[in-house]
Protein backbone atom coordinates (compact mmCIF):
# COMPACT_ATOMS: atom_id res chain seq x y z
CA UNK A 1 0.00 0.00 0.00
CA UNK A 2 1.49 3.31 -1.08
CA UNK A 3 1.75 6.19 1.34
CA UNK A 4 -0.47 9.21 0.68
CA UNK A 5 2.59 11.28 -0.34
CA UNK A 6 3.68 8.71 -2.92
CA UNK A 7 0.20 8.50 -4.40
CA UNK A 8 -0.01 12.28 -4.62
CA UNK A 9 3.43 12.57 -6.25
CA UNK A 10 2.41 9.95 -8.83
CA UNK A 11 -0.77 11.95 -9.41
CA UNK A 12 1.13 15.24 -9.86
CA UNK A 13 3.80 13.62 -12.10
CA UNK A 14 1.06 12.00 -14.22
CA UNK A 15 2.38 8.51 -13.49
CA UNK A 16 -1.03 6.95 -12.82
CA UNK A 17 -3.46 5.28 -15.19
CA UNK A 18 -6.61 7.20 -16.13
CA UNK A 19 -8.69 5.12 -13.74
CA UNK A 20 -6.29 5.67 -10.82
CA UNK A 21 -6.02 9.35 -11.70
CA UNK A 22 -9.80 9.74 -11.52
CA UNK A 23 -10.04 7.79 -8.26
CA UNK A 24 -7.36 9.93 -6.63
CA UNK A 25 -8.90 13.16 -7.88
CA UNK A 26 -12.15 12.10 -6.17
CA UNK A 27 -10.27 11.27 -2.97
CA UNK A 28 -8.56 14.68 -2.98
CA UNK A 29 -11.92 16.34 -3.41
CA UNK A 30 -13.60 14.32 -0.64
CA UNK A 31 -10.85 13.65 1.91
CA UNK A 32 -9.40 16.58 3.90
CA UNK A 33 -6.12 14.78 4.61
CA UNK A 34 -5.55 14.06 0.92
CA UNK A 35 -6.52 17.64 0.03
CA UNK A 36 -4.00 19.09 2.51
CA UNK A 37 -1.16 16.83 1.35
CA UNK A 38 -2.03 17.57 -2.29
CA UNK A 39 -1.93 21.33 -1.71
CA UNK A 40 1.46 21.07 0.03
CA UNK A 41 2.97 18.82 -2.65
CA UNK A 42 1.63 20.92 -5.50
CA UNK A 43 3.12 24.07 -3.98
CA UNK A 44 6.50 22.37 -3.51
CA UNK A 45 6.30 20.91 -7.02
CA UNK A 46 5.63 24.28 -8.68
CA UNK A 47 8.27 25.92 -6.49
CA UNK A 48 10.91 23.38 -7.58
CA UNK A 49 9.89 23.67 -11.22
CA UNK A 50 10.30 27.45 -11.12
CA UNK A 51 13.79 27.54 -9.61
CA UNK A 52 16.22 29.19 -12.02
CA UNK A 53 19.50 27.65 -13.10
CA UNK A 54 22.79 28.99 -11.74
CA UNK A 55 24.82 31.19 -14.04
CA UNK A 56 28.55 30.52 -14.42
CA UNK A 57 31.08 33.35 -14.75
CA UNK A 58 31.26 35.53 -17.87
CA UNK A 59 34.57 33.96 -18.92
CA UNK A 60 33.25 30.39 -18.62
CA UNK A 61 32.85 29.65 -22.36
CA UNK A 62 36.09 31.46 -23.24
CA UNK A 63 38.03 29.42 -20.66
CA UNK A 64 36.64 26.18 -22.09
CA UNK A 65 37.41 27.20 -25.67
CA UNK A 66 40.98 28.07 -24.63
CA UNK A 67 41.37 24.55 -23.25
CA UNK A 68 39.56 22.95 -26.19
CA UNK A 69 41.82 24.70 -28.69
CA UNK A 70 44.80 22.95 -27.09
CA UNK A 71 43.16 19.55 -27.58
CA UNK A 72 43.43 17.32 -30.63
CA UNK A 73 40.35 17.72 -32.82
CA UNK A 74 37.86 14.91 -32.12
CA UNK A 75 37.23 12.37 -34.87
CA UNK A 76 34.32 10.07 -35.50
CA UNK A 77 35.33 6.57 -34.38
CA UNK A 78 34.30 5.18 -37.76
CA UNK A 79 37.07 7.17 -39.44
CA UNK A 80 39.60 6.14 -36.85
CA UNK A 81 38.96 2.38 -37.00
CA UNK A 82 38.42 1.00 -40.47
CA UNK A 83 36.67 -2.35 -40.10
CA UNK A 84 38.10 -3.61 -43.41
CA UNK A 85 41.59 -3.60 -41.87
CA UNK A 86 40.36 -5.66 -38.91
CA UNK A 87 38.59 -8.16 -41.21
CA UNK A 88 41.70 -8.47 -43.44
CA UNK A 89 43.98 -9.14 -40.47
CA UNK A 90 41.51 -11.69 -39.08
CA UNK A 91 41.38 -13.44 -42.45
CA UNK A 92 45.21 -13.63 -42.70
CA UNK A 93 45.51 -15.10 -39.19
CA UNK A 94 42.67 -17.54 -39.79
CA UNK A 95 44.21 -18.80 -43.06
CA UNK A 96 47.63 -19.13 -41.36
CA UNK A 97 46.18 -21.10 -38.42
CA UNK A 98 44.17 -23.44 -40.66
CA UNK A 99 47.20 -24.03 -42.95
CA UNK A 100 49.53 -24.83 -40.05
CA UNK A 101 46.97 -27.16 -38.46
CA UNK A 102 46.34 -28.89 -41.75
CA UNK A 103 50.09 -29.27 -42.37
CA UNK A 104 50.66 -30.64 -38.85
CA UNK A 105 47.86 -33.18 -39.13
CA UNK A 106 48.91 -34.21 -42.64
CA UNK A 107 52.51 -34.91 -41.63
CA UNK A 108 51.88 -36.66 -38.35
CA UNK A 109 52.05 -40.43 -38.08
CA UNK A 110 49.52 -41.88 -35.66
CA UNK A 111 50.81 -45.38 -34.80
CA UNK A 112 47.61 -46.95 -33.57
CA UNK A 113 46.91 -43.83 -31.52
CA UNK A 114 49.10 -45.16 -28.68
CA UNK A 115 49.84 -42.75 -25.90
CA UNK A 116 53.57 -42.11 -25.45
CA UNK A 117 55.10 -42.98 -22.10
CA UNK A 118 56.89 -40.25 -20.18
CA UNK A 119 59.82 -40.87 -17.93
CA UNK A 120 60.10 -37.82 -15.69
CA UNK A 121 63.19 -37.89 -13.55
CA UNK A 122 64.47 -34.68 -12.09
CA UNK A 123 67.97 -34.05 -10.97
CA UNK A 124 67.82 -31.19 -8.45
CA UNK A 125 71.62 -30.88 -8.36
CA UNK A 126 71.55 -29.94 -12.05
CA UNK A 127 68.66 -27.49 -11.65
CA UNK A 128 70.11 -25.55 -8.69
CA UNK A 129 73.29 -24.27 -10.29
CA UNK A 130 74.94 -20.84 -9.70
CA UNK A 131 73.70 -19.69 -13.12
CA UNK A 132 70.07 -20.66 -12.42
CA UNK A 133 70.25 -18.89 -9.04
CA UNK A 134 71.60 -15.77 -10.72
CA UNK A 135 68.74 -15.83 -13.26
CA UNK A 136 66.24 -16.37 -10.43
CA UNK A 137 67.53 -13.35 -8.44
CA UNK A 138 67.73 -11.21 -11.55
CA UNK A 139 64.05 -11.87 -12.33
CA UNK A 140 63.13 -11.18 -8.67
CA UNK A 141 64.92 -7.81 -8.74
CA UNK A 142 63.27 -6.95 -12.04
CA UNK A 143 59.80 -7.78 -10.63
CA UNK A 144 60.51 -5.74 -7.48
CA UNK A 145 61.57 -2.73 -9.56
CA UNK A 146 58.42 -3.03 -11.68
CA UNK A 147 56.26 -3.20 -8.54
CA UNK A 148 57.96 -0.12 -6.99
CA UNK A 149 57.57 1.77 -10.26
CA UNK A 150 53.85 0.91 -10.43
CA UNK A 151 53.34 1.86 -6.78
CA UNK A 152 55.07 5.19 -7.32
CA UNK A 153 52.99 5.94 -10.42
CA UNK A 154 49.70 5.14 -8.64
CA UNK A 155 50.66 7.40 -5.71
CA UNK A 156 51.63 10.19 -8.09
CA UNK A 157 48.27 9.92 -9.90
Partner 1 sequence: MQQQTDQALITAVLEGNSSAYAELVNRHKRFVFTMAMKFAKNREDAEEIAQDCFVKAYRSLGSFKNTSKFSTWLYTITYTTAMSFLRKKRIATYSMDEEDNHLQLENHISSFQANVVEKKSKYAYLNLAISQLLPDDAAIITLFYQSEQSLDEIGQVLKMESNTVKVKLHRARLRLKEKLEYLLKEEVKELL
DSSP structure string for 90-134: HHHHHHHHHHHHHHHHHT---STTPPPP------HHHHS-HHHHH
9 binds partner 1 (CB under 8 A): yes
Listed ranges 22-30, 34-42, 83-91, 129-137: which one lies at the site for partner 1 (CB under 8 A):
34-42
156 binds partner 1 (CB under 8 A): no
Residue of the chain from 69, 119, 121, 154 that contacts partner 1 (CB under 8 A):
69
1 binds partner 1 (CB under 8 A): no
Which residues in 43-62 contact partner 1 (CB under 8 A)? 43-44, 47-57, 60-61
CA dist., res. 67 & res. 61, Å (int): 10
Nearest CA to 35 out of 23, 21, 19, 24 is that of: 24
CA dist., res. 149 & res. 157, Å (int): 12
Q: Which is nearer to partner 1, 3 or 107 (CB)?
A: 3
15 binds partner 1 (CB under 8 A): yes
Amino acid sequence: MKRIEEQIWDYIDGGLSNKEQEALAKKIADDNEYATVYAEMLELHSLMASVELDEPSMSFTRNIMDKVNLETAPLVLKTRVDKRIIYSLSAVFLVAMVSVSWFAVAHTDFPALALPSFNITMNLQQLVSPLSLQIFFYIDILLALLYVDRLYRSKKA
